[in-house]
């Protein structure tokens, strides 16, 4: 739709008091609001492929939607903005996705009834969470180059501080890129006094490297109440297991990290040393672990009880290296 037409959107769109769902898709155009806005019954708002122009647009729009419960901001430009402030007393579900220029702004969230938050964008300049007492489900995937993480540790520090604000969350999903950000700040992650003691469901995706068990150990120490753990590693980056490597790993000490409540583990697309290291770590530290579920890259799901794995691994007729193979190939 031409810009001239978009600039003259009928005011009735923003003053319709019976409207409950509104989706605005304005590719390449700036969202312009009329002087009067009254969307008193709007419950769901989608803003797609537009520019906001200044700091006040979103604040003015949301303040005119007192019953808003669901907000999605997708592929929108923040150029010219300093702060993206999302304040809503009734908001329950929020998704901010593919907004690449959000890296130049401060993101402020204040929503006492917010339950679910999904974030798929670059790390913002600053991220503050206020009045998020009801937040229970968080899914974070930071976009952008990992090259700058190694050059600028401030990015990793900001990631750790974001986790600091998630103390009420019960389900936490972190992408491989987010884990890589954390891996650059292991000292901060280990030294922080805060805990994510309410997280019972933890879902992680990893890019395999030699230190990923250290990342998991530091993260698990902050999430001591996890009952269900789901871990996936990109199988394209999986290192093939060799007899020589298996022998070396069998002699490597497993890090101690008590997982006192972990009962169920799901492994997605893991193979070789990736699965070997992780299963050894879990069997060593999870005292109440009951079962391990594996999902292959082809979608085949298999389940094994920990007792079955331990019984096979403790057989006196096989070598230590074969024991590790049994654990690693439990699926």
Domain around 97: 1-116
CA angle 326, 327, 331 (to 5 degrees): 85
- Smallest Cα–Cα separation from 26: which of 55, 2, 53? 2
Q: Please give the DSSP secondary-structure letter assigned to residue 254.
A: P
Total number of domains in the chain:
1
Q: With respect to residue 102, please indicate whether it lies within any of the assigned structural domains.
A: yes
Q: With respect to residue 1, please indicate whether it lies within any of the assigned structural domains.
A: yes
274 vs 283: CA distance, rounded Å: 14
Q: With respect to residue 16, please indicate whether it lies within any of the assigned structural domains.
A: yes
121 vs 202: CA distance, rounded Å: 20
183 — pLDDT class (breaks 50, 70, 90): confident
What pLDDT, on a 0 to 100 scale, did the predictor assign at position 193?
Answer: 53
25 vs 47: CA distance, rounded Å: 6
Q: With respect to residue 184, please indicate whether it lies within any of the assigned structural domains.
A: no
Q: With respect to residue 280, please indicate whether it lies within any of the assigned structural domains.
A: no
Structure confidence by residue, pLDDT tens digits, 113-164: 999 999 999 999 899 999 999 999 999 998 876 665 555 677 778 888 888 8
Q: Please tell me the least confidently modeled range out of 43-47, 49-53, 324-328.
A: 324-328
Q: Return mean pLDDT, the chain.
A: 80
**pLDDT greater at residue 243 or residue 191:** 191
Q: With respect to residue 103, please indicate whether it lies within any of the assigned structural domains.
A: yes
Q: With respect to residue 70, please indicate whether it lies within any of the assigned structural domains.
A: yes
Structure confidence by residue, pLDDT tens digits, 249-278: 444 555 677 788 999 999 887 655 556 677
What pLDDT, on a 0 to 100 scale, did the predictor assign at position 330?
Answer: 47
What pLDDT, on a 0 to 100 scale, did the predictor assign at position 61?
Answer: 95
Q: With respect to residue 302, please indicate whether it lies within any of the assigned structural domains.
A: no
What pLDDT, on a 0 to 100 scale, did the predictor assign at position 110?
Answer: 95
What pLDDT, on a 0 to 100 scale, did the predictor assign at position 249?
Answer: 47
């Amino acid at each position: 739709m031409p810009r001239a037409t978009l600039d003259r959107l009928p005011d009735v769109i923003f003053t319709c008091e019976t409207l409950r769902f509104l989706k605005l898709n304005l590719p390449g155009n700036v969202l312009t609001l009329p002087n009067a806005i009254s969307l008193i019954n709007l419950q769901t708002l989608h803003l797609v492929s537009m520019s906001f122009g200044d700091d006040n647009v979103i604040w003015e729009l949301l303040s005119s939607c007192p019953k808003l419960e669901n907000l999605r901001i997708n592929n929108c430009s923040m150029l010219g903005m300093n702060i993206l402030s999302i304040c809503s007393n009734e908001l329950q579900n929020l998704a901010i996705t593919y907004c690449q220029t959000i890296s130049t702004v401060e993101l402020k969230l204040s929503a006492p009834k917010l339950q679910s938050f999904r974030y798929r964008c670059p790390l913002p300049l600053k991220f503050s969470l206020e009045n998020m007492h009801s937040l229970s489900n968080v899914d974070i995937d930071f976009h952008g180059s990992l090259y700058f993480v190694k050059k600028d540790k401030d990015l990793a520090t900001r990631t750790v501080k974001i986790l600091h604000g998630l103390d009420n969350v019960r389900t936490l999903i972190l992408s491989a890129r987010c884990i890589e950000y954390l891996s650059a700040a292991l000292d901060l992650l280990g030294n922080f006094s805060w805990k994510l003691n309410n997280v019972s469901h933890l879902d992680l995706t990893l890019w395999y490297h030699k230190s990923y068990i250290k990342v998991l150990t530091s993260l698990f120490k902050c999430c001591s109440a996890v009952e269900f753990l789901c871990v996936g590693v990109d199988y394209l980056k999986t290192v093939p297991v060799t007899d020589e490597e298996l022998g070396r790993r069998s002699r490597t000490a497993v890090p101690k990290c008590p997982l006192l409540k972990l009962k169920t583990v799901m492994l997605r697309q893991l193979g070789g040393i990736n699965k070997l290291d992780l299963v050894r770590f879990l069997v060593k530290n999870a005292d109440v672990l009951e079962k391990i579920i594996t999902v292959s890259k082809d979608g085949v799901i298999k389940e094994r009880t920990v007792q079955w794995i331990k019984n096979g691994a403790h057989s006196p007729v096989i070598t230590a290296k074969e024991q590790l193979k049994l654990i690693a190939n439990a699926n």
